[in-house]
Amino acid sequence: MIASSEVMNELSSGWFLEHAWLIPIIPAIGFAIIILFGKKLPMKGSEIGLISMLSSLALAGGAAMQWISRVNSGTEEQFIAPVVRTWNWWQIGGMKFTIGQSIDGLSVIVLVVVAFISTLVQLYSTEYLKGDRRYTHFFAALTLFSAGMLAMVVAEDTILFLLGWEIMGLCSFMLIGHWWEDGANSRAALKAFFTVRTGDMGLLIGISMLYFASNEWTTKELGVSGFSIRGISAWALSGEPNSRVILIAAIALFIAAIGKSGQFPLHTWLPDAMAGPTPVSSLLHSSTMVVAGVFLVSRLYPVFFTGFHILGSGGNFITIIGGITIVIAAALAFVQNDIKKVLAYSTVSQLGYMMLGLGAGAWMPAVFHIFTHAFFKACLFLGAGSISHSASHHSFDMKKDMGGLRKVMPITFTTWVISTLALCGVFPFSGFFSKDEIIDNVGHNGYQLFMIIGLIGAFMTAAYMTRATYLTFFGEARGASAGIHHDEHHDAHASAHDAHDSHDAHDAHATDHADQGPHESGWRITLPLVLLAILALGSGFLNAVPFGEKWERITKWVEPRHSEFAPELHHAPFTWSKAGLSLAIVFIGIALSWGISTMLYTRKDKRLVGLSERNRVLRAGYNLLINKYFLDVLYEKVIVKAIAGPIAAAAYWFNQNILDGILHAVARFSRVFSGWVYRNIDQRVVDGTVNNSGKATKGAGGVLAPVQSGKVSQYGALLFSAAAVAALVLVIINS
């Protein structure tokens, strides 16, 4: 707590911090320009995307610099207030909705990461999607996607947050289904959209609950509405809220995070989302889409902190979901042959670490893991894209079309290995400094069981990444990377990667590859790879806990100091013995997996090959994994059918028995009745009248016939003129 006697320094600010709201606005404008004029521009709109992302990056960098000096201008213990600017957005019956920015350490670090990775991905895409038929639309969607994420990050209130969140949902749908001509791709896009939507319900419910619960308090105490994130944070920590209300709100919000961040049991959309172009997967899985859920939890952390009693329990909803996700996703990664799917499951598992960290009170390590993970995961995905682009003929199958690529693609190989080591958490790569801190702090805060799960996860990560690396870069070359050009196979994989291959401009491009065989990619692909690999190697030192407090820069800059807006969190003291244990586990994982991979894939050891077919237990396990725990079957066949089936059956029954019964009865009655009417009334009374009136009508009809021209616009004109006359009459009567 800040003692009231302590001197509070005046905090510095600056232009970049005050104008951080420009960061999402620029790409949003860029999107509009691309979609309107993109096709007419010399580079088909990609230059606008690149420029807008670069300017966002520059602004974000400036904001980061000024934030650091703002932190330095305060005292050690002082809470560094975020830079807030708000505008009135709309007003409705006395309720005021504001929109605005609130920039603090967390927003700054995520802004920089998002803008940086988006820029690199855009650069990469100019090469990767060269000649694509919807090139302009791709860049438009990519730019809007980044704009959505950036808007979410700068948001001062939950409404703007929700807006950015939904923009991302929409754009992910467009980008995953970019090659929608192929049914599998559009199905994957729909699946991603609907699964995430399931979670989004939670966000809406959570935001509304928080508003109604906190609005009165925040208006009275802070003069902000119940949508303000600061207001909600202070309210959650004030001891005011009813514990049940805040628990339910936290659960609702966390369900949204489960959907967006691909946590168990809604993780099934994430691997399918690989149907999109590789740059999209890279952006989605490193810094934007999936991080949004983690960001939600870290942004509204006080709500979760109070709702789940994070420091006072040995396990809660968040840690359980995070723990389950770490292990099951890592297990799934072992049976995938598609290199991108291995990476996708690895992302799911790493997000599990972040959630676990947040759930166990390790806020800072979890946020730092967002930071480091973004770099090495983006690098791995772009590396996979580089392989498929230049070596394996647009295939992502490691067993069929890769192998032995380390010699032909030295840059891709080196960057891949660096990022893999970072992902596994090997010292001194960046993953070590973040993942190890999470595991350490989780144990320190009393979540022993989850610390063990974290260590198991680290072992599995090391093992499956070694398997993937071995299959891709070592052993002998197979399939397309051996230069074997088989059309049949190409067709099969055209569907997996690019339907655009068989079209116009890309055709020549594809044959090029077949002739050249595997080779290194161009600079627009390798430059992002190299930059990301450097960061994967070096970014850990920004918060190198092992070297003492002087090295904990990110902690100093980003972690909010304890105050009415931020809970008090402790850090586990670093000991080399604990780090040594996890490093040993990682090395055992790597060695074991390397040994098994060599025996299985290169020497084809008789004892191991086909073991999963001979051993019943292993076969059952393999089946469970290859079918993804039958969760897809559960969702599509059981849940959807269970809901849709009875409704359809009930509707059919209702139709057959009730409606038809009524119809038949009515029909029978009317037949009897109409017979009587025909004989007595129709023939005698009516016909006489009709014959006479018929003549009159015919005369009138002849006069009015031209009006019934069949032209809709004429009818419309008549309608509007009649309305105008009626309005005139009304005015005259009333005045």
Partner 1 sequence: MLVNQFLFLAALLFCIGVYGVIARKNAVLVLMSIELILNAVNLNFVAFALRNGNADGHTFALYIIAIAAAEVGVGLGLVLLIFRNRRTISLDDLSEMKG
Give the footprint of partner 1 on this chain (CB under 8 A). 91-95, 701, 705, 707-713, 716-717, 720
Integer angstrom CA distances of residue 655 from 222, 648, 659, 660: 58, 10, 5, 6
Eight-class DSSP state of 228:
B
CA-CA distance, 157 to 230, in Å (whole number)? 8
- Residues 11 and 87 sit within 8 Å (Cβ to Cβ): no
CA-CA distance, 368 to 555, in Å (whole number)? 9
Nearer to partner 1, 623 or 708 (CB): 708
Q: How far is the CB of 96 from partner 1 (least distance, A)?
A: 13
**Tell me, what amino acid is at 559?**
E
Nearer to partner 1, 7 or 95 (CB): 95
Q: What is the 3-state secondary structure (H, E, C) of 390-414?
A: HCCCCCCEHHHHCCCCCCCCHHHHH
Q: How many CB atoms lie within 10 A of CB 665?
A: 10
Integer angstrom CA distances of residue 505 from 137, 185, 451, 690: 17, 21, 53, 72
Nearer to partner 1, 713 or 735 (CB): 713
Q: How far is the CB of 24 from partner 1 (least distance, A)?
A: 25
Nearer to partner 1, 573 or 706 (CB): 706
For 188, half-sphere exposure in the C-beta direction (CA atoms, 13 angstrom radius) is 25
Q: How far is the CB of 226 from partner 1 (least distance, A)?
A: 17
Nearer to partner 1, 678 or 715 (CB): 715
CA-CA distance, 133 to 505, in Å (whole number)? 8
What's the Rg (C-alpha) of the chain? 31
DSSP string of 258-291?
A: HHHTT-TTSTTHHHHGGGS-HHHHHHHHHTSHHH
DSSP string of 645-712?
A: HHHHHHHHHIIIIIIHHHHHHHHHHHHHHHHHHIIIIIIIIIHHHHHHHHHHHHHHHHHHGGG----H
> Taking Cα atoms as reference points, which of 270, 255, 56 lies closest to residue 153?
56
CA-CA distance, 48 to 43, in Å (whole number)? 9
Q: How far is the CB of 242 from partner 1 (least distance, A)?
A: 28
Angle between helices 363-390 and 430-444 (to 10 degrees): 140
CA-CA distance, 555 to 427, in Å (whole number)? 19
Q: Which residues pair with 98 in a beta bridge?
A: 88
Q: Which residues pair with 566 in a beta bridge?
A: 563
DSSP string of 586-603?
A: HHHHHHHHHHHHIIIIIS
Q: How far is the CB of 231 from partner 1 (least distance, A)?
A: 22
Nearer to partner 1, 166 or 240 (CB): 166
Nearer to partner 1, 653 or 720 (CB): 720
Q: How far is the CB of 212 from partner 1 (least distance, A)?
A: 16
Chain centre to alpha carbon of residue 570 = 30
Q: How far is the CB of 93 from partner 1 (least distance, A)?
A: 4
Nearer to partner 1, 5 or 735 (CB): 735
In sequence order, the 6+-apart residues with CB closer than 8 A to the CB of 704 are none
Nearer to partner 1, 8 or 717 (CB): 717
Nearer to partner 1, 645 or 716 (CB): 716
Q: How far is the CB of 185 from partner 1 (least distance, A)?
A: 23
Nearer to partner 1, 3 or 95 (CB): 95
Q: How far is the CB of 727 from partner 1 (least distance, A)?
A: 11
Q: How many CB atoms lie within 10 A of CB 335?
A: 19
What is the sign of the dihedral through the CA atoms of 226, 230, 236 and 241?
negative
Q: How far is the CB of 715 from partner 1 (least distance, A)?
A: 8
Q: How far is the CB of 714 from partner 1 (least distance, A)?
A: 8
Backbone dihedral region of 707: left (phi > 0), alpha (psi from -120 to 50 degrees) or beta?
alpha
Q: How far is the CB of 697 from partner 1 (least distance, A)?
A: 12
Q: How far is the CB of 267 from partner 1 (least distance, A)?
A: 32
CA-CA distance, 559 to 237, in Å (whole number)? 17
Angle between helices 289-299 and 105-128 (to 10 degrees): 180
Q: How far is the CB of 528 from partner 1 (least distance, A)?
A: 40
Chain centre to alpha carbon of residue 714 = 50
- Residues 175 and 280 sit within 8 Å (Cβ to Cβ): yes
Q: How far is the CB of 704 from partner 1 (least distance, A)?
A: 8
Q: How far is the CB of 723 from partner 1 (least distance, A)?
A: 9
Length of the chain in terms of residues written: 735
Q: Which residues pair with 85 in a beta bridge?
A: 101
Nearer to partner 1, 615 or 697 (CB): 697
Q: How far is the CB of 174 from partner 1 (least distance, A)?
A: 19
Helix and strand element counts for the chain (H, E): 32, 2
Nearer to partner 1, 92 or 733 (CB): 92
Nearer to partner 1, 696 or 707 (CB): 707
Nearer to partner 1, 239 or 710 (CB): 710
Token pair for 211: 């508003």
Chain centre to alpha carbon of residue 130 = 25
- Residues 317 and 309 sit within 8 Å (Cβ to Cβ): no
Q: How far is the CB of 484 from partner 1 (least distance, A)?
A: 45
Nearer to partner 1, 694 or 716 (CB): 716
- Residues 633 and 624 sit within 8 Å (Cβ to Cβ): no
Nearer to partner 1, 654 or 715 (CB): 715
Burial environment of residue 453 by CB neighbours within 10 A (0 to 12, 13 to 18, 19 or more): buried
CA-CA distance, 50 to 143, in Å (whole number)? 9
Nearer to partner 1, 90 or 576 (CB): 90
